[in-house]
Amino acid sequence: MSYPNKIFLEENEMPTQWYNITADLPEPMPPALHPGTHEPATAEDFAPLFPKALIEQEMTTQRYVDIPGEVMDVYKLWRPTPLFRARRLEKLLDTPAKIFYKYEGVSPAGSHKPNTAVPQVYYNAMEGIKKLTTETGAGQWGSSLAFACAQFGLECEIWQVAASYRSKPYRKTMMEIWGGKVHPSPSQVTEYGRSLLALDNDHPGSLGIAISEAVSEAVADENTRYALGSVLNHVLMHQTIIGEEALLQMAKIGETPDVLVGCTGGGSNFGGLAFPFMREKFKGKMNPVIRCVEPTACPTLTKGEYRYDYGDTAGMTPMMKMHTLGHNFIPEPIHAGGLRYHGMAPLVSHVYELGLVDAMSIGQKECFAAGIMFAKSEGIVPAPEPTHAIAAAIREALACKETGEERTILTALCGHGHLDLASYEKYLHGEMQDLDLDQKAIDEALRSVPQVDR
């Protein structure tokens, strides 16, 4: 069958429901735990952090959830997103493999993150919440939440990891354009931030620390809630719009993936693409290998332990059973800032434990080389995070070249790299290094994770 490079959907063909994979898991998810008592967390435990509708989505095992009309209206600013066949990359690699990518960089913030920012702000607005707080690393999530808050008239206050606050000033400007208020983290605004700055005035910060600051501000005010851009069940569910669209697009051209690869930071773009395909796999309709790709400097799935840990550094969030490097592990400052989180989504960790997905890690130099091959052939400059998925797709395509197999590879190009050019510049000038994993630091961080007998 011949078909064009870009496979589009019409607005009226957009899926109208998110998919909740917890309905179809062969074993139920371990519950989140209260950080103090270690008993299963209740809806009330989450109430200071999130609106009721999102807590319900976090805990439900209902298979499908309707996307509200007002959320659909905002989605339609950029959705449905195109699915591309990467024919020019295939040619460059001289591979018999077919490579497809679902492009999420067409969103206002330039990544997949608005897919969950928009419904999160919508449900908060419906419950009368006036302000949201959050953390951001490279600035992708902060800018997405600021954009979404602007759509529904909420205030947005953001703690940006100090190292990227200093090195990525344009993301801060984007957040401010959409009305966000941005602090470097650690900040003078919170008690925890002040305590860290007292020890080190130049503290580089981390995602875990920024989460602690944003959470402490949210719980202190009854009209304020907190929003998390990855990791949680409801976030991964909102992102399934990616995979549901991709399924329809692949069906239009009569293709099914043999291999599906995605980069995993907290697991949301991966889960969003993979879970609808996993459902089809459960039904016996296709049989793709599904693979997570993480950086060698922050190998949560491949080197972390599967156990209960906190989502933040100060230990204020409920504990989640997940692959973790320890909540106070601070990864090396690799350029893929969005992949530098100590934990992995409980859902992705669970399907990994069940053997439903596999995982690999790749160093950043190979990833940037892959990103440049992609840019030269397909034109789009990828964000540093999805270059991990591209590098894995290229490895797979080159393996097909050896064996002559015509495998179909699907990945998500979850963001463009227009605000990450400084890291490409480092690579092009030969200044980039593969950062070694500090196993001693991981061992030490894991020792500080409390033992939970579950």
User: Closest approach of Cβ 267 to ligand PLP, in Å?
Assistant: 5
H-state helical runs in 20-113: 43-46, 52-59, 69-75, 87-93
Nearer Cβ to ligand PLP, position 45 or 180?
A: 180
Nearer Cβ to ligand PLP, position 154 or 274?
A: 274
User: Closest approach of Cβ 345 to ligand PLP, in Å?
Assistant: 7
Give 84-87's long-range contacts (Cβ < 8 A, gap of 24+): 84/5, 84/6, 84/7, 84/378, 84/413, 85/3, 85/5, 85/7, 86/374, 86/377, 86/378, 87/5
Nearer Cβ to ligand PLP, position 204 or 415?
A: 415
Nearer Cβ to ligand PLP, position 7 or 293?
A: 293
User: Closest approach of Cβ 215 to ligand PLP, in Å?
Assistant: 18
Nearer Cβ to ligand PLP, position 107 or 328?
A: 107
Tokens of 12: 């009226």
Nearer Cβ to ligand PLP, position 193 or 267?
A: 267
User: Closest approach of Cβ 214 to ligand PLP, in Å?
Assistant: 15
- Look at residue 430 and give its three-state secondary structure: coil
User: Closest approach of Cβ 385 to ligand PLP, in Å?
Assistant: 3
Nearer Cβ to ligand PLP, position 111 or 133?
A: 111
User: Closest approach of Cβ 388 to ligand PLP, in Å?
Assistant: 9
If we measure between CA atoms, which residue out of 145, 126, 153, 124 comes closest to residue 224? 124
Q: What is the DSSP letter of 33?
A: B
User: Closest approach of Cβ 96 to ligand PLP, in Å?
Assistant: 29
Indicate the helix (H) or strand (E) that contains 129. Answer: none
H-state helical runs in 136-267: 140-152, 162-167, 169-177, 191-199, 207-219, 233-252
Nearer Cβ to ligand PLP, position 95 or 264?
A: 264
| Crossing angle for the helix pair 233-252 and 114-126, to the nearest 10 degrees | 130
User: Closest approach of Cβ 293 to ligand PLP, in Å?
Assistant: 10
CB atoms within 10 A of CB 267: 33
Tokens of 350: 């669970």
Nearer Cβ to ligand PLP, position 89 or 232?
A: 232
**Around 47, how many Cα atoms within 13 Å sit in the side-chain half-sphere?**
5
Please state, in angstroms and rounded to a whole number, the distance separating the CA atoms of residues 356 and 90.
28
User: Closest approach of Cβ 113 to ligand PLP, in Å?
Assistant: 5
CB atoms within 10 A of CB 169: 11
Nearer Cβ to ligand PLP, position 124 or 268?
A: 268
Q: Phi and psi of 84, rounded to 5°? A: -110, 145
- Look at residue 372 and give its three-state secondary structure: helix
| 56 contact partners, CB below 8 Å, separation of at least 6 | 43
User: Closest approach of Cβ 243 to ligand PLP, in Å?
Assistant: 13
Give the interface with ligand PLP as residue ranges (CB under 6 A): 111, 113, 140-141, 230, 263-270, 338-339, 383, 385-386, 414-415
If we measure between CA atoms, which residue out of 311, 107, 291 comes closest to residue 227? 311
